[in-house]
Structure 1
Amino acid sequence: MSQDLVFYTNPMSRARVARWMLEEVNQPYRTHVLSFGLGMRDADYLAINPMGKVPALVHGDTVITEVSAICTYLADAFPQAGLAPAPTSRERGAYYRWLFFIAGPFDAACTNHVLGFEIGNDAKKAATAGYGTLERVLNTLENELRWRDYLVGKQFTAADLLAGAYLGYEMAIGAIEKRPVFERYCANLIERPAAIKAQQIDNDLASHAV
């Protein structure tokens, strides 16, 4: 497979998370910045991602969309970066668990909360939603992080990148409360050189109002 990585993004989107992951794997990549609306509805881009949204990553003949999928793919495509436990390790299950906990229950619970869809004490709604309640989701994550720096083992993985990025964003916009455990966890992650570099790149792009 060609090692060319082509990244489709907009700096005012969750594609920022994928940018951070690209900087962590430290491989050369080309960036295409797409505007919202017509840019993402262009026929050439729709052939890559029919959803008409970013991010998308093209690696040779492989197309990957969705932030969590891009992070998971890059961790496995470039194992030298050390961003995922070995496939046969005892920590691989926990790694998958937290990757998809963030992509599934956490993201869904926060999105519903921002949109004003509240579960409250309605047991039927809680069962239908799948994640239960936002409070349950946050408590589950808080309890896991209370006595540790990383979600899996003793080193940073793609699961931490996803969790740190999403937690940081939701706290910044006031969608969830700034619990001390979450603030400590995120503060440790945003100081990573790749996180700083990715933020600088996207902040510069955002200043040009694409």
Structure 2
Amino acid sequence: MQDITLYTHPFSRGTYVVWMLKECGAEYTVVPIQFGAQIQSAEYLAINPQGRVPALKFGDTVLTESLAIITFLAEQFPDKHLIPAADTLERGEYYRWMCLSLHLEYAAFNKLHNLPVDTPERRRQIGYGDFDTAWNTLREHLKNRDYIIGNSFTALDLYYSGLILLLTQNFKVLPADETDVLQRYAAKHLARPAFAETMAWAQETVAQMPPAE
């Protein structure tokens, strides 16, 4: 196994990657990156020219995009069974819901910022159509299910649970209603020990970081 180094801020989507590393039982190093001057420094831009976190250095290769990183990690630790086997229909379903999650996030942030999708033409042009249709697709899928695919926890359940939490607590785009199917689904996975360990890590790490410049 290559050396794994994660560059991230503890209050960012990098928490998904920390959670995933814990689920994998991986050995890794975290380099905390502060927003502001540090994330825009020449040193960090040499790692990720976009000036964003997370970034994962795996050996000599740098990976970015949290969903790509956790999917890659799932493949690197096959004994943890966090992704369906390659060349199976279930792996195809994984890719479907992986791509849809990006549309759902776009839909949520467009709603947050009041970007209109209010005509049939705009709905056709935008990949997710409209907020309600996109998110109700997920609700309907999860109505009688505990997992996105199959009958066990995968990297997608980690990602979707984190996304639902973000959009419920931080941005309040989704309803914080415990009877909602999305909240029921997320609560099951957010109760995993590795998530509690990740949140404890985030609080401890941010307390030790210097103020942003």
TM-score range, shorter chain: over 0.9
Cα RMSD (Å) of the superposition?
Answer: 1.4
2:182 is the counterpart of 1:185: no
Work out whether 1:195 is the aligned partner of 2:195.
Answer: yes
SS of residue matched to 1:91: helix
SS at match of 1:6: strand
Whether the aligned pair in 2 keeps the contact of 1:8 and 1:57 (CA below 8 Å) is: yes
Cross-structure match for 2:68 = 69
Residue 110 of structure 1 contacts residue 170 of structure 1 at CA under 8 Å; is this kept in 2? yes
State the 1:3 CA deviation: 2.1
Alpha-carbon offset, residue 206 of structure 1: 2.6
Residue in structure 1 matching 2:104, options 99, 103, 106: 106
Partner of 1:46: 45
Q: Trace 1:97-136 onto structure 2 (pairs within 5 A).
A: 97-102=96-101, 104-120=102-118, 122-136=119-133
Verify the 8 A CA contact 1:17 1:67 in the aligned structure 2: yes
* 1:176 to partner: Cα distance: 1.6
Give, in angstroms, the shift of residue 90 of structure 1: 2.3
1:112-151 Cα shifts (integer Å, max 9, x gaps): 111221313x112212221111101110000000000001
Deviations 1:48-107 (A, max 9, x none): 1100010000110221100111111101111112100000222111111111211x2111
- Cα distance in structure 1, aligned partners of 2:57 and 2:114: 35
- Alignment partner of 2:174 out of 173, 176, 180: 176
Shift of 1:209: 5.5
Aligned positions, number? 207
Gaps of 5+ in 2: none
Shift of 1:183: 1.1
Say if 2:34 and 2:209, in contact at 8 Å, map to a contact too: no
Match of 2:84 in 1: 85
**What secondary structure, in the 3-state scheme, does the structure 2 residue paired with 1:207 have?**
helix
2:146 maps to 1:143: no
The two structures have a TM-score, normalised by structure 2, of 0.92
Contact 1:16 1:198 in 2 (8 A): yes
CA contact (8 A) 1:99 1:158 kept: no
Q: Shift in Å at residue 108 of structure 1?
A: 0.6
Letter in 2 for 1:83: L
Counterpart residue type for residue 61 of structure 2: T
Give the 3-state SS of the residue equivalent to 1:41 in structure 2: coil
Which amino acid in 1 is paired with 2:78?
P
Q: Is the 8 A contact 1:68 1:100 kept in 2?
A: no
Q: Is the 8 A contact 2:19 2:195 kept in 1?
A: yes
Q: Secondary structure at the match of 2:39?
A: helix
Cα separation, 1, equivalents of 2:114 and 2:21: 33
- Give the Å deviation of 1:39: 0.8
Matched residue type, 1:178 = A
Write the distance in 1 (CA, Å) between the matches of 2:206 and 2:129: 36
Deviations along 1:136-187, one digit per CA (max 9) or x if unpaired, are 1110000000000001100011111111110111011311223510111011
Aligned in 2, Cα 1:133/1:209: closer, same or farther, shift over 3 Å?
farther
In structure 1, the gaps of 5 or more residues are none
